[in-house]
Amino acid sequence: MQKHLAIYISNSFDKESLIKTIFLGELIPSFSSLNGALFSEIVLNKFIDEEIRHGKMNVATETKNSLLHSSEGERKKALLDHIISGKPDYLVIDNVFGNLDVATQSQIEKQLTVLSETTSIVQIANRKLDILPFIKNIYQIKDDILVEFSNTESKTESFHFIEALPSVEYHEPTKILNPLVKFNNVSINYRERAILNSISWEIKSGEFWQLMGPNGSGKSTMLSMIFGDNPKAYGQDITLFGVKKGSGESIWDIKQKIGYFSSEMLRGFTRRDTIGNMIVSGFFDTVGLYKTPTNAQIKIAQHWLRVLNMFDIRKQCFLSLSRGHQRLVLIARAMVKNPPLLILDEPTNGLDDNDAALFCELINKIALETNTAILYVSHRKEANLNPEFVYELVPNENGSIGSILT
């Protein structure tokens, strides 16, 4: 029996069918009579759905919280503990490090390393760097069989978007007040727990920032005070686009100045909209197109379609695209308004190496050709992405403090 192996796949591969063939013993016949378990976001989402529908926790975190109200790191650690307690003969793991901070990645890697001494592990990976170090046998699937993976033959493709981005002449001139975002000695507590401690930070027009910090350090809290309607922001010294938070500003006016993308957004787009309509809907921040766009808005959307080399397939269904190309469309959707600020929340989670490179190429182009400030929030440092500045949240007992890394 094969002790441990990794199966390296692209986003275009039918992952759920792959998992099914493993558990049926069709892909790895030696597993056919064994008891296996799956460690995947697929399983996590099923448990979370059960919590929502039935109010019952089948898996609890170390702090006895539900999965729904826990961080991604807490969820994955709880699921792994739950699976190990069942003593499976083999474990299939999928996207094991997605959305996890470095410390949590290290903890789970150590736990899996210990488990590997008694249990066979099959890792499904779409990023080469994520393959666990104790797994030496790496395969790809060709003609429904496992074939040895050759790292020398599989190189990340080089992508170039030739068309220039839409010029500001398309858009009505707007006065942008710098800094776009200003936190001045912001401290946030939830009940007895301190989240942020005296955070002072500015984002100016055209800057490219990465926001880093462990799970639970307050990154989501900061984003919700910029993009959302977090009531904790009121009473704090926060200025957004020249207007102090709590001075009667409209949430809609703020969101009009922000383009937002998160890998989680893909779950919400299940309608069979065309690629063209998906991009145009960014002017209205709606899931689906319910208003008639102006001629100017149509021209901007068509320009973005040409940038993405998708103009000829603009009437094709958005859901028919690969996961990587769906994200390109959603970035264009976020950018059609020519927003002063673009927020990218864990944007490459779940992407394969080629799609991640394609995504990074587009973001670097936006950084180079526009005055839009970019806030990239991720634990992962993408080799092809080039932020100018990094702001790191460092937790302590009085709440996370912030520092600019040089």
Residues 6+ apart with CB under 8 A from 65: 74
Give tens-digit pLDDT for 98-111. Answer: 888 888 899 999 99
Percent of the chain with pLDDT over 90: 52
Average pLDDT over residues 340-355: 90
Average pLDDT over residues 149-160: 63
Stated pTM of the model: 0.85
| Residue 91, both tokens | 């474990």
Does 74 score more than 50 pLDDT?
yes
pLDDT for 245 equals: 85
pLDDT for 169 equals: 60
pLDDT bin (cut points 50, 70, 90) of residue 266 is confident
Instruction: With H, G, I as helix, E, B as strand and everything else as coil, classify residue 365.
Output: helix
pLDDT bin (cut points 50, 70, 90) of residue 1 is very low
Nearest by Cα to 11 from 356, 378, 383, 381: 356
pLDDT for 133 equals: 94
Give tens-digit pLDDT for 207-255. Answer: 999 999 988 889 989 999 998 778 888 889 999 998 888 777 777 888 8
Give tens-digit pLDDT for 17-66. Answer: 999 999 999 999 999 899 999 999 889 888 888 888 887 778 878 777 78
Task: Give just the sign of the alpha carbon dihedral 383, 388, 394, 399.
Answer: negative
Q: How far, in Å, CA of 286 to CA of 278, rounded?
A: 9
Does 359 score more than 70 pLDDT?
yes
Q: What are phi and psi of 222, to 5 degrees?
A: -65, -40
Does 357 score more than 50 pLDDT?
yes
| Helices assigned H by DSSP within 62-143 | 72-85, 102-115
- Is there a cis peptide before residue 179, judged by omega within 30 degrees of 0? yes
Does 388 score more than 80 pLDDT?
yes
Q: How far, in Å, CA of 92 to CA of 79, rounded?
A: 13
pLDDT for 163 equals: 87
Is the distance from CB of 154 to CB of 37 less than 8 angstroms?
no
Helices (H) and strands (E) in the chain, counts: 10, 16
Average pLDDT over residues 374-403: 92
**Between these two residues, 316 and 166, which has the higher pLDDT value?**
316
pLDDT for 151 equals: 64
Q: What is the DSSP string of 236-282?
A: S-EEETTEETTSS--HHHHHHTEEEEEGGGGGG--S--BHHHHHHGG
| Arithmetic mean of pLDDT over the chain | 88
Return the minimum-mean-pLDDT range out of 29-38, 63-72, 92-101, 275-284: 63-72
pLDDT for 212 equals: 93
